[in-house]
């Protein structure tokens, strides 16, 4: 999966951290069905909290946008997170007997706090590209994981999850975010973006967010 031309460069800069994230034991447990249900539900509760802040981060990106096209994308993603993605979590948790008020009042684990506040700080301290570099591992990583698991003849236990992220709709979304990032890079840094003084900082943001994804899976395995 390439999802544009910037993402593969940032992914390469993350080195082994990318593999640790996309081939984590939690992910392999989703694939072969050995992930304990308790871990999955615990992950979903924390992910609900994560997504609330993730929606805030896309709303923050709106304030850092420089074109109407960027604003449209940020507004649409914020809305989709609140109306679709969070509802999906609410539904799966409700089926498992976890109410929405339990979700809302759940205590954030340190891994959730670290990741969400890191992304928001990337946006507050930096600009649109800092935010995109901190958000990209989340969006594209799940796209890569979903596509690989779907093609690997997975066990039926977590088929819903795998089909959501490996399926065509989500893959198109990843490609759209890839294009958004490529165009934002060209607009702000020009054609020789990789030679720009801010390039190492953007690679660092992407790598740190990737490490925080590994921490999030680790936390999922520790209900
Ligand atoms: C820890 C964590 N990392 C990534 C995702 C994936 N994700 C987050 S928001 C979203 C919709 C597109 O913006 C997707 C796929 C997640 N849920 N939780």
Exposed, middle or buried, 194 (CB in 10 Å: 0-12/13-18/19+)?
Answer: middle
Whether residue 138 has its Cβ less than 6 Å from ligand 1: yes
| pLDDT tens by residue, 200-223 | 999 999 999 999 999 999 999 999
Domains with residue ranges and CATH for the chain = 6-220 (1.20.910.10)
Question: Which pLDDT score, from 0 to 100, does residue 1 have?
Answer: 76
Instruction: Kindly state if the Cβ of 161 falls inside 6 Å of ligand 1.
Output: no
98 lines ligand 1 (CB under 6 A): no
Task: Write down the pLDDT at residue 178.
Answer: 98
State mean pLDDT over 26-55: 97
Q: Is the complex ipTM higher than 0.85?
A: yes
Taking CA atoms, 73 is separated from 50, 60, 90, 196, in Å, by: 20, 12, 24, 25
pLDDT-derived band at 2 (thresholds 50, 70, 90) equals confident
CA 192 to centroid of ligand 1, rounded, Å: 30
Q: What are the pLDDT digits (tens) for 32-46?
A: 999 999 999 999 999
């Amino acid at each position: 999966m390439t999802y544009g031309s910037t993402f593969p460069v940032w992914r390469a800069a993350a080195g082994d951290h990318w593999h640790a994230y996309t081939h984590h034991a939690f992910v392999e447990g989703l694939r072969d069905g050995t992930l304990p249900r308790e871990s999955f539900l615990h992950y979903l509760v924390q992910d609900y909290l994560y997504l609330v802040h993730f929606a805030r981060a896309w709303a923050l990106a709106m304030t850092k946008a420089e074109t109407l096209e960027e604003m449209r994308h940020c507004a649409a993603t914020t809305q989709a997170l609140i109306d679709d993605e969070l509802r999906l979590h609410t539904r799966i948790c409700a089926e498992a007997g976890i109410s929405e008020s339990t979700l809302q009042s759940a205590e954030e684990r340190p891994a959730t706090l670290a990741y969400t506040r890191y992304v928001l700080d990337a946006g507050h301290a930096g600009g649109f590209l800092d935010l995109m570099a901190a958000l990209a591992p989340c969006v594209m990583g799940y796209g890569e994981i979903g596509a690989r698991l779907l093609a690997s003849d997975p066990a039926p236990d977590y088929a819903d999850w795998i089909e959501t992220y490996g399926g065509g709709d989500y893959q198109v979304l990843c490609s759209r975010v890839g294009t958004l990032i490529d165009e934002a890079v060209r607009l702000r840094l020009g054609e020789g973006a990789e030679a720009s003084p801010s390039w190492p900082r953007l690679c660092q943001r992407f790598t740190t967010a990737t490490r925080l994804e590994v921490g999030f899976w680790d936390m999922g395995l520790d209900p």
